[in-house]
Structure 1
Amino acid sequence: MADAEVIRIVYIPAMGRDRYRFLEPDAPHFLTCTAVKWLPLFAQPANALILIDSLRFLQHERGLLIHGYVIMENHCHLIAGGPRLARSISSFKSFTARQMVDRMRERNSPALSLLVWYRGRHKRDREHQVWQEGSHPEQIEGETMMRHKLEYIHNNPVKRGYVDDPLCWRYSSARNYEGLEGLLDVVTDW
């Protein structure tokens, strides 16, 4: 069974709020990062570019390997791996949250009050919450699972009715897999 796939998700009861763990951080993982209460924060191109710039930084400075991605209006999916993956994702969420909050403050955005309203009660170290907790990592176990997850993320904008062809969605690695230039460098040979 060369192409057998095994999904290894660890469920650890009563140990923190996020019960999913990175089993082998260097291995590619399918991740989902969701805006708090599914707010459409990334529908604004400037906020989507904050995510892109942060991922690019992590690629160049922290060795993050991105195999696939899509940024939608209220969440993003990544297939990523590399050294200290959990820490890179934590840095990504923390940095992008600060950048978006600062941008909203500069523009006196009414969405800022929603980020205060929806902040978790246990989040006493901050005034706003941009991201839901966790990223629910699923380790990619084999080529079949990798192809399935890539197809899923690349077709996300098509299923939502935003585009007819995944190549038309700017904030996705679909173009990279067709040999075209994308917004981020993507490792397509896995």
Structure 2
Amino acid sequence: MNSQESRKDFLLWHFSKAGKFNPNNKSFQVWQQHSHPIELNTNNKLLRCLNYIHYNPVEAGIVLSPEEYLYSSAANYAGLPDRLIDVILVE
């Protein structure tokens, strides 16, 4: 670990504080431990989920449009040529 890292103490404090409130941990917690699965049993739910995933890089300020993100299937769904991987479109 880099001793010059300026965020080290802050991050250790933050992760230990979160870990103290969770009986599943001994000292630190970095990630949320809860998952809330949603059954994608309608086209509307599926499209909402795809849009959420595709727009994450836009919301993060990485790209201006979902199709620009290299590691996304958004370009495939927009009808653009395949990028990195083959995508089976869900219809």
TM normalised by structure 1 equals 0.34
Contact kept in structure 1, 2:70 and 2:84, CA below 8 Å: no
Mark the CA change 1:151 to 1:125 in structure 2 (over 3 Å): closer, same or farther: closer
- Give 5+ residue unaligned stretches, structure 1: 1-105
Rounded Cα–Cα distance in structure 1 between residues aligned with 2:38 and 2:58: 23
- Alignment deviations for residues 92-114 of structure 1 (CA, whole Å, 9 cap, x no partner): xxxxxxxxxxxxxx345612332
Matched, 1:122 2:22: yes
Say if 1:175 and 1:181, in contact at 8 Å, map to a contact too: no
Instruction: Report the CA distance shift for 1:127/1:151 in structure 2 as closer, same or farther (over 3 A).
Output: same
Cα 1:165/1:120, change in 2 over 3 Å:
same
Tell me the residue number matched to 1:152: 52
Q: Which runs of 5+ in 2 are unaligned?
A: none
Name 2:13's counterpart in structure 1: 113
* 1:125 Cα offset (Å): 3.7
The root-mean-square deviation of aligned C-alpha atoms, in Å, is: 3.0
- Deviating beyond 4 angstroms after TM superposition, the runs of 4 or more aligned structure 1 residues are 175-178
Is the radius of gyration larger for structure 1 or structure 2? 2
User: Aligned pairs, how many?
Assistant: 83
1:180 matched to 2:80? The reply is no
Cα deviation code 1:57-78 (max 9, x no counterpart):
xxxxxxxxxxxxxxxxxxxxxx
* C-alpha separation in 2, matches of 1:143 and 1:127: 42
Aligned twin of 1:138: 38
Tell me the distance in 1 between the aligned counterparts of 2:23 and 2:61. Answer: 35
Distance 1:149 1:112, change over 3 A: same
Structure 1: how far apart are the matches of 2:12 and 2:69? Answer: 27
Higher strand share: 1
Displacement of 1:128 in angstroms is 1.2
SS of 1:126's equivalent in the other structure is coil
TM norm structure 2? 0.60
